[in-house]
Amino acid sequence: MPHALGCALCLGLAAATVARVAVVPATLAAAALLALAAAASHPNAAIAVAALALAVAGWGWGSARLTAIDRSVLAPRIGSTERAVVEVEEPPRSGSFELRMRALVLRWGELRPNEPVLLELPLGRTPPQGARLSLLGRLREPRGPSHGFDERAWLRHHGVHAVLRGGADWRVVGRRGGLSGVADRLHAWLGRGSAPGVGGVRRGVIEGVVLGEDQGLPDGLRNDFRASGLYHLLAVSGGNVLVVAAGTLWLAFLLGVPRLAAQTAVLATIGGYVLAVGAQPSVIRAGIAAALGSLAWLSGRQRDARYGLVVAGVALLAWSPYNALDPGFQLSFAAVLAIFVLAPRIRRRLEGYPFPPRARTGVTVSAACGLATAPVSWFQFHQIPLLTVPANAVGGFVVAPMLALALVCALLAPVAAPLAGALAWANGWLAAYLAACAHVFGTIPGAQVRAGRVAAALALGALGTAAYAWLRGRDRAQARLPPLGQRPAEDRARPAPAAGADRG
């Protein structure tokens, strides 16, 4: 029941991206519907009306949040040039002509806007994440649709309404503090200590697995990861959070830490990892789910992974309903829903085939996630990888050991640098293997679909296969049922128990 109410709230929050309503009327309507739900005599009717009330309330809240996100102090000043102070909020990405990164404008001339922008700097020096820069900059309008990408819409969905172009004379004047400063230090520690002594492509792959960053990969290899269906391994997801939580519990077990303290340590490490890698939708979703699981154990309540998914959806959409349009949000939630809904059915279909248990699990999850995320991949990127299942079966199993080794290296680097270097060297070979898998599968002819007709044919084939499998499953289930009012022959031949006989 709470799942339905939470889903209704999510739908209401997402509805604000389609049409907006005034907050006061939406609040009054939601309150009236809640009163009707409380007065309803039938439980199902009460739940339906309560769900509608939450949807209306979410619609009003989402509309208010979008209005706040769309408000900009800098947009009316596009074209002006001023002395500015900005904070770098993410690692810079190198383009063909400039460095690009998200930054927070603290000062623009005499203004104190505290507004995010897309900062562009000339190639050369690279500011670290969290650095506070002083520079002379010029505001420009984001670019419109071009080659299938609308920079203006994409930035607007992330609360950015202007691009700040700075010169080469920028200088560092400080660093941000507070919780953001802690996140910067954790990020720098992981980036520095996860692969000591490893460079080139191997380091880029390790950083992708640990931090979800692909800046260290060549464009060709990055495209190979996308074409092979392995690109999701370079994005931090629930698997990363699971490895962090399991590693913390294992370490606590070795040290003899009581379970209460161990679960508390799990909550702390999950929070630290989420801070280090940044507020990505998949990270927030996995972090909330893992934290709820630990809290459920601490409170002695039953765990239900679906609650984590619903709570994460509500949290992300309440913060910004634009997250519903984000590809990372859509891919992450589609994949998790597929694991809940499709994976068990596919696993039952594979029973009886000569698959090792681990291979069956990998194929099941890869197939379910591939089917669920294919529509999102097409509508967002106009491409569908076809070799997701074999590529993940061959290369996906190295990700968990890579992440574990990288975290161990980060812990050992300050106290046992030679041992950390040896482990990083071994981890580099795992990274090379993963890069080789991406290259091999990504360069196979027809590894991904880019033509609309082929995508439509694949969609029709998938729907037809699903319908056929469902009909066959229903027919088999009906064939196993005896005719109404009859018992199987062995039951009819069995004598009825004597009166008063023990039936226990």
- Kindly list the domain boundaries of the chain, sorted by start residue: 2-70, 75-176, 187-456
Q: What is the mean pLDDT of residues 279-304?
A: 68
Q: How far apart are CA 215 and CA 220, in angstroms?
A: 12
- Percent pLDDT > 90 in the chain is 33
Ordered alpha helix ranges (H), 322-451: 327-350, 357-381, 388-395, 399-412, 417-442
Please tell me which residue, 146 or 201, carries the higher pLDDT value. 201
pLDDT band for position 115 (50/70/90)? very high
pLDDT attached to residue 296? 64
Question: If you classify domain 75-176 with CATH, what class do you get?
Answer: mainly beta
pLDDT attached to residue 52? 92
Please tell me which residue, 373 or 467, carries the higher pLDDT value. 373
Query: What angle in degrees, to the nearest 10, is found between the helix axes of 417-442 and 388-395?
Result: 160
Tell me the two tokens of residue 433.
């293997």
pLDDT band for position 165 (50/70/90)? very high
Instruction: Check whether 454 has a pLDDT greater than 70.
Output: no
pLDDT band for position 481 (50/70/90)? low
Residues 350-402: tens digit of each pLDDT: 776 776 776 777 778 888 888 888 888 888 888 888 888 888 888 888 998 99
Q: How far apart are CA 289 and CA 324, in angstroms?
A: 18
Instruction: Check whether 501 has a pLDDT greater than 60.
Output: no
pLDDT attached to residue 44? 80
Instruction: Check whether 488 has a pLDDT greater than 60.
Output: no
pLDDT attached to residue 502? 41
Q: What is the mean pLDDT of residues 341-355?
A: 76
CB of 389 within 8 A of CB of 363? yes
The helix/strand/coil state of 212 is: coil
pLDDT band for position 68 (50/70/90)? very high
Instruction: Check whether 38 has a pLDDT greater than 90.
Output: no
Q: How far apart are CA 86 and CA 115, in angstroms?
A: 9
Q: What is the mean pLDDT of residues 211-227?
A: 87
Burial class (CB in 10 A: 0-12, 13-18, 19+), 381: middle
Of 62-76, 126-140, 452-466, which gets the smallest average pLDDT? 452-466
pLDDT attached to residue 298? 59
pLDDT attached to residue 499? 44
pLDDT band for position 304 (50/70/90)? low
